[in-house]
Structure 1
Amino acid sequence: MSQPHPPTPRRPRRRLRLGVILLSLLLVLLLVDKGRVLFFPPPQVGHWSSPEAQQDYESSYRELLAGLPEAESRLVDTDFGAVHVLVWESENPAPPLLLLPGHSSGAPMWAENLPDFIGQRSIIAPDPLGDAGFSSQKLPLNSPADQGIWISQVLQAMTVEEVHVLGHSFGGANAAHFALQHPEQIASLTLLEPVMIIERLPVSAFFWATLTQLPVPQSWRDRALAEIGGTTVEEVQKRTPMSEMIDAAASGYRTALPTPGRLSDEQWRSIQVPLRVDIAGTSSLAGGQEGLERLEALLPEGEFGYWPEATHSLPMDERAALSPVLLEFWERHD
C-alpha cells in the first residue's frame, strides 16, 4: 500500500502565488501602457499633467534651495529647448563641476551634497530637458545620443571649455553618452549608480516605476518610490521637501525621454577620460557588484567604489565618506 504524499508546504505556495500575481499585474500594466501609446500617442516633449502638480513640484524645489547659498539662475537655449541652469561661482579657476541628476528630480536632487561642493569650484546644475524642472523642451529627444548634444550645447553657450561631470542614476546614463560624444569637453567623468548602461534593470524596477505613473492610492506610490530609491516606506512618508518634489515629478510630469541601453564593451573601452564609478551594495539599479566587476575588467585604469551598505540613493547615503573622495578625484584631474 502506497504511502500518502506529504502535504505541500504552504509558504512556497503563497510565495509562488504572490509572484504570479505580481508578474500578471506587470504584464497587464505593460499591455495597458502599450495600448495607450497605440491609441493615444504620447507627446513628443515632456509636459506637466496639471498646474497643481507643477505648483507642488516648484514649491518643494524652492524649499530645497532655500537652505543653500543663493545660485545664479540662467536659461540657456539649445536645439532641443531652453535649459534652466543653476550656477554657483567660485574663485577657483579649475574646471567647473557639472551635476546631472536622476529621473523625476531636477537640480535640487543634489541639495544634500551641494554644501560639500559649493565654494570648492564653480558648479553648473541644469534641470534636464524632457524631465521635471524649469527647463522647456521644444523638440523630441529621439535617442540617448541627443542627451549628449543638449548638454554640450549648454556648455558651449556658457563658454565653458571643460567640466568635471558627476551623474547619478538616469543622469549617470546621460553623462556617459555625453562622454562618448564630447570627450574634449570633459576633464573627468564620475558615475554614481548609473542605470541601464552597465547592466539592464531588473523587471521589478519597471514594475515599480510604472506604478508611480498610474492613478493609484498614495500608499502604493509611497511603496513604489521606496522600492526604487532603496529606502523604506516610512522614510518616503516623512514627506520631506525632497520626497515631496520627487513624488510630484513622478506623478505629475509626463516625460518623453529615450531609454538608455546597455553600453557595449567597445563603447566602455572607448571612454578615454578619467573615470570613476561608484556602485551600491543594497537595492542597486546599476548592476551591483557584478556590474562593477564588468567595468573593472574592461577599464583597469578606472577608479571604482563599492558601498555595501548604500542603496540606489548612494549620493545621499554615503555623503560624508563619498564627498572627500570625489573632491580629491576632481582635484587630481584638474
Structure 2
Amino acid sequence: MIDTTVFSETSTSGKPRRRERRHRSLKVLAVLTVAWLVIDKAASIIQPASTVGHWRSHEGFESYRTAYDEVMATLPAPTRTHDVHTEYGAVRVYEWAAGNDASASRSPVVLLPGIRSGAPMWGENLIHWIGQRTLYAMDAIGDAGMSTQAMPFTSFDDQAEWVEQVLVGLDLERVHVVGHSFGGAIAAVHSLRHPGRVVSLTLLEPVMVLRGLPASTYLWSALLLLPMPQSWKDYALAEIGGVSVAEVQERTPMSVMIDMGSRHYASVTLVPRSLTDDEWRSTSMPVRIDLASDTSLAGGAAAADRARSLGMEPVTVWPRTTHSLPVQVAEQLGSELDRYWEQHDR
C-alpha cells in the first residue's frame, strides 16, 4: 500500500458556475453509462476470451491523467491517498479523515462510483460530509481511473471481491456503503456476499439490480456500434438520456476526462444482473434507495415499487431529477444521509 497526500484544495471563487458545469457533465455521463453498458455487453459476446481492462497506449493514459488531475483539483484535498493491492489489481482510494475523536468513532463511509466517472464524481457530495466521519472514495477496477486490473472477472459478482479486499486492506471492520449507478450495482452484490461488513447500504440510481433497461435504450445504443456519422451518434445519446445534442457535445473538465477514458481505456466491465426477490430479502442491513423521476436508468417508479414491496426503507423518487441524482440533490442528500448513517451507527 502506498500513502501520499495529493492535490490541493481550490478556492470557492466561481463555485456556482463550476457546480452548474459539473451538473451538466454528470447529466451527460448518465447518458453514456447506458451506452457503455450496451457496448460492453456486445463486446463480451464477440470477445474470444476474458481479458483485463487496460490503457491502449501510454500517450492515451497521459491524456486521461491530465484531465483526471484537473477534475481532482476541484475537490477538497484528501487526507491520504492509498493504492491497495488486491487479487484483481491495485485500487486507488482517497481518504478524507474525520475531524475529531468524536467523528472518528463513527462508522466510515465508502463511496463506489458510476462507470467512467471514478472518485472525481463525488465532488459536490464530499463537501457536505468531510469532517463528520472518515470518507473513502475509490476508482473501480476494470474501469478508467487510477486503479489497475491484474486478473479478469469471470462474472459481475467478482466485483464484490475486490471491494471486500480493499476494505480488509484498509483495516475497515464495518462501513456504510454508498454506490451510484454501476457502483450501486457493485455495492448491492458486495452487500449480499459480505453482509457482516456493511452497516448500511445506500443505492443512488443503481443500474440493472432492481429493473432492467428498456428496449428502446438498447435500440438507440445500437447506433453507437455502427459506422454512423458522429452527429447521428450524438443524437442517439441525447435520445437515450433526455438531454439536448448541445449538452452531449459540450466540453467541460469532467466531460473531457470521461471522453479521454472512453477513447483510451479498453474495459471489460461485464453487465450487472438483476437481483432476485430472495436475494434482496436476504440482506440483513438497512437498505436505502434513491431514484430519479425523469430518465431514470435504475427503473424509476417501477423500481421504487419493487423496492418498497421488498421492505426497503426509505425509498425516494426525487422530483425533477435524472440519473445524475447525486449531484442534482447533493445538498439534500448531504443532510439526509448524514442523519441516516447516524441512525444506523453501531
Q: Is the contact made by 1:214 and 1:251 (CA closer than 8 Å) also made in structure 2?
A: no
Q: 1:62, 1:73 → 2: CA distance?
A: 13
**Equivalent residue number for residue 57 of structure 1:** 64
Q: 1:37, 1:306 → 2: CA distance?
A: 34
Task: Using the TM superposition, give the Cα deviation of residue 159 of structure 1 relative to its aligned residue in structure 2, in angstroms.
Answer: 0.5
Task: Using the TM superposition, give the Cα deviation of residue 237 of structure 1 relative to its aligned residue in structure 2, in angstroms.
Answer: 2.9
Q: Is the contact made by 2:75 and 2:120 (CA closer than 8 Å) also made in structure 1?
A: no
Q: Is the contact made by 2:292 and 2:322 (CA closer than 8 Å) also made in structure 1?
A: yes
Q: 1:79 pairs with 78, 84, 87, which one?
A: 87
**Equivalent residue number for residue 133 of structure 1:** 145
For each residue in 1:256-288, what CA deviation from the matched residue of structure 2 results, as whole angstroms up to 9, or x when unmatched?
Answer: 122211111101111111111011011111111
Q: Is the contact made by 1:106 and 1:127 (CA closer than 8 Å) also made in structure 2?
A: yes
1:331 paired with 2:338, answer no
Task: Using the TM superposition, give the Cα deviation of residue 302 of structure 1 relative to its aligned residue in structure 2, in angstroms.
Answer: 1.8
**Equivalent residue number for residue 74 of structure 2:** 67
Larger Rg: 1
Return 5+ residue gaps in structure 1 as ranges: 1-25
**Equivalent residue number for residue 5 of structure 1:** none
Q: Is the contact made by 1:230 and 1:312 (CA closer than 8 Å) also made in structure 2?
A: no
Q: Give the partner amino acid of 2:319.
A: P
- Aligned residues: CA RMSD: 2.5
Task: Using the TM superposition, give the Cα deviation of residue 146 of structure 1 relative to its aligned residue in structure 2, in angstroms.
Answer: 1.0
Task: Using the TM superposition, give the Cα deviation of residue 213 of structure 1 relative to its aligned residue in structure 2, in angstroms.
Answer: 6.7
1:117 paired with 2:129, answer yes
**Equivalent residue number for residue 206 of structure 1:** 218
Q: Is the contact made by 1:78 and 1:153 (CA closer than 8 Å) also made in structure 2?
A: yes
1:289 paired with 2:301, answer yes
Task: State the TM-score, normalizing by the size of structure 1.
Answer: 0.83
Q: 1:221 and 1:331, CA in 2 relative to 1: closer, same or farther beyond 3 A?
A: farther
**Equivalent residue number for residue 44 of structure 1:** 51
Return 5+ residue gaps in structure 2 as ranges: 1-34
Q: 1:294, 1:103 → 2: CA distance?
A: 24
Q: Which has the higher contact order (CA 8 A, sep 6+)?
A: 2
Task: Using the TM superposition, give the Cα deviation of residue 60 of structure 1 relative to its aligned residue in structure 2, in angstroms.
Answer: 2.1
Q: Give the partner amino acid of 2:125.
A: N
Q: Is the contact made by 1:212 and 1:250 (CA closer than 8 Å) also made in structure 2?
A: no
Q: 2:126, 2:230 → 1: CA distance?
A: 30
Q: 1:142 pairs with 146, 154, 157, which one?
A: 154
Q: Is the contact made by 1:127 and 1:134 (CA closer than 8 Å) also made in structure 2?
A: yes
For each residue in 1:68-117, what CA deviation from the matched residue of structure 2 results, as whole angstroms up to 9, or x when unmatched?
Answer: 22222211011111111111111322111101001112111112222122
Q: 1:74 and 1:223, CA in 2 relative to 1: closer, same or farther beyond 3 A?
A: farther
SS at match of 1:171: helix
Matching of residues 1-334 of structure 1 within 5 Å: 33=42, 38=46, 41=48, 44-71=51-78, 72-91=80-99, 92-93=103-104, 94-207=106-219, 218-220=230-232, 222-223=234-235, 225-227=237-239, 230-299=242-311, 301-334=312-345
Aligned residues: 303
Q: 1:49, 1:214 → 2: CA distance?
A: 21
Q: In terms of mean alpha carbon deviation, does 104-113 or 133-142 score higher?
A: 104-113
Q: Give the partner amino acid of 1:66.
A: A
Q: In terms of mean alpha carbon deviation, does 272-281 or 90-99 score higher?
A: 90-99
SS at match of 1:111: helix
Task: Using the TM superposition, give the Cα deviation of residue 205 of structure 1 relative to its aligned residue in structure 2, in angstroms.
Answer: 3.1
